[in-house]
Amino acid sequence: MRIPRGWSPAVAILVAAGLLVPAGARPAAVPGQSPDQVAAAARIITATSMLEHVKALAADDKEGRAPGTAGEERTVAYLTGQFKRLGLAPGNPDGTYVQAVPLIGFKAEATAGFTVKGTPMPLAVPDDAVVVSRQGLPAVKVADSPMVFVGYGVVAPEFGWDDFKGVDVRGKTILMLAGDPPVADPANAASLDPKVFKGAALTYYGRWTYKYEMAARKGAAAAIIVHETGPAGYAFDVVKASWGRENFGLAGPGEASTHAPVDAWITLDGAKKLFTACGLDYDALKARAAARGFKPVALGATASFTVTNTIRSISSRNVIGRLEGRDPALKHEYVMYSAHWDGFGVNRALQGDQVLNGALDNASGMATMLAMAEAFTKLEGGTKRTMLFLSPTAEESAMLGAKYYAEYPLWPLEKTLADINMDIMNFWGRTRAIVSIGHGMTTLEDLLIAEAAKQGRLVLPDPESEKGYFYRSDHFELAKQGVPALHFLHPGAEYRDRPPDFGQRMRDRYVAEDYHKPSDDIKADWDLSGAVEDAQLLFNVGLAVAQGTAYPEWKPGTEFRAIRAARLKGK
């Protein structure tokens, strides 16, 4: 920019850096709202309107909302119809309310085997190892690829951690341990160091998705994770069942670069046999991998795989509405809410009711988003920044709709100040607290705490942080690209006029009886009063970002702070 004469060097630097906007250059400020005006808009959010949306979205005619089905057509039509009714603008710059998401469905037939010192060690697929290829190719072959044990396969600059130590693994088969490196607390060897990989909580680095992504980035030919029930959180049978059926991915050339040719799991037993055959001690190497000084170990073995995929194309859609900001400059910045629309469809193998209605998962999230969108449209004076309401597809298949949006954003991600994601809301009554998944990660949460305090409520951390729920819904795909995010999943805590264990009991009952089953449907004992309060709170948080002067940030020590900084520098 041209600096006018007469400015002091200090002012000129601030202006050039975009930190100070000269008075004359600034468009007329759009005033914010009075507390009464905000409260009036928040009152638009009611249990009646939210329940109407849930009833429509969980109705049997939506057929459980599986991508690529008639259920998708009716779900997209409902969301689009509601966005239009509310007066939202099309969320796609092409003038539509949808973003096409090309998906593929694929089912793998695979073989796998190792060779140690000239002796073949065949593997039974899927009993010893589960093997897939996610590159979207009909056939993949990896032959005699040298094997390297890379510990936990983690590169985490904020913890000074690099399991690869510059070792070139291109074309090789890397073997990795599940979970975060378990670093002992120097103050108490019996527990994990809270300063490294957040102690007992699971970080992004512990998720299997991270490990496979890292393998692709390093150019490995194949990535094998050693399955242990502890860190993975589920039995090998669960891996076999979910990876053995049809899986979904994004269509297109992008996928070949984000996946290694082969992704695999091996049983703990299988890994130990391999190490023993190589003359190595699995337990000793595993212990070594829990320290920063660990270096990759060549196993002196090779791995071979063949994968044949049966592939079909599915065209699906993200749905998006937009409420344009009123400030001429700030309207080019965005505040996003998200709630996935997809579900598990119809299970014809079931007796009786076959429709997996997904009332809580995730008609409840969409209903919350629609109710908030309505409140924003009725807000006196509107917002300065632009509000986006995104309902991604295929969340239940590795967040593919959100991943697609993050790869092909409709609005610049570096100008997207926040994503507030909802996936299963609280329909069991009013609470004195709300649970924030990923507690302490962003300054958005400071806004959440301040707004919750105005309701006389508290913000609590996730009681099951070791399960890593922050890394398991749509906002995470945006977080990976740097966008600060909040996530709400079963957000109710400390129910009013209920015993202290009520929330956990209801949540456990939901997971045991209804989650991903036909019985996730409208319930007679629902009480949406807490969901209304939560929606009003999230409305207030989004509004604070939309009208505020601060850019939300990832806090120091979080996995996504570096990528956000890099993105903002590049703008």
Q: Residue numbers of the site for Zn ion (CB under 5 A)?
A: 361-362, 423
In angstroms, the CA 337 to CA 360 distance is: 17
| Closer residue to Zn ion, CB minimum distance, 44 or 336 | 336
The minimum distance between CB 356 and Zn ion, in angstroms, equals 12
| Closer residue to Zn ion, CB minimum distance, 145 or 362 | 362
Q: Which residues of 519-555 are buried (b: 16+ CB within 10 A; e: fewer)?
A: ebbeeeebebbbbbbbbbbbbbbbbbbbbbeeebbbe
- Amino acid identity, position 439: H
The minimum distance between CB 511 and Zn ion, in angstroms, equals 12
With beta carbons less than 8 A apart as the criterion, state whether 9 and 495 touch. no
| Closer residue to Zn ion, CB minimum distance, 203 or 362 | 362
The minimum distance between CB 198 and Zn ion, in angstroms, equals 24
Cis omega before residue 188 (within 30°)?
no
The minimum distance between CB 114 and Zn ion, in angstroms, equals 38
With beta carbons less than 8 A apart as the criterion, state whether 262 and 142 touch. yes
Residue 344 to residues 359, 362, 393, 394, 515: CA-CA distances in angstroms?
A: 11, 11, 11, 9, 10
With beta carbons less than 8 A apart as the criterion, state whether 194 and 185 touch. yes
Going by the DSSP 8-state scheme, the letter that residue 360 receives in this structure is I
| Closer residue to Zn ion, CB minimum distance, 126 or 401 | 401
Q: What are phi and psi of 145, to 5 degrees?
A: -85, 125
| Closer residue to Zn ion, CB minimum distance, 205 or 488 | 488
In 3D space, the residue among 492, 512, 491, 511 whose CA is nearest the CA of residue 502 turns out to be 492
The minimum distance between CB 514 and Zn ion, in angstroms, equals 13
| Closer residue to Zn ion, CB minimum distance, 445 or 520 | 520
Helix (H, G, I), strand (E, B) or coil at 441: coil
| Closer residue to Zn ion, CB minimum distance, 374 or 423 | 423
Show the tokens assigned to 538: 């999230």
The minimum distance between CB 396 and Zn ion, in angstroms, equals 6
Show the tokens assigned to 404: 């697609």
The minimum distance between CB 474 and Zn ion, in angstroms, equals 9
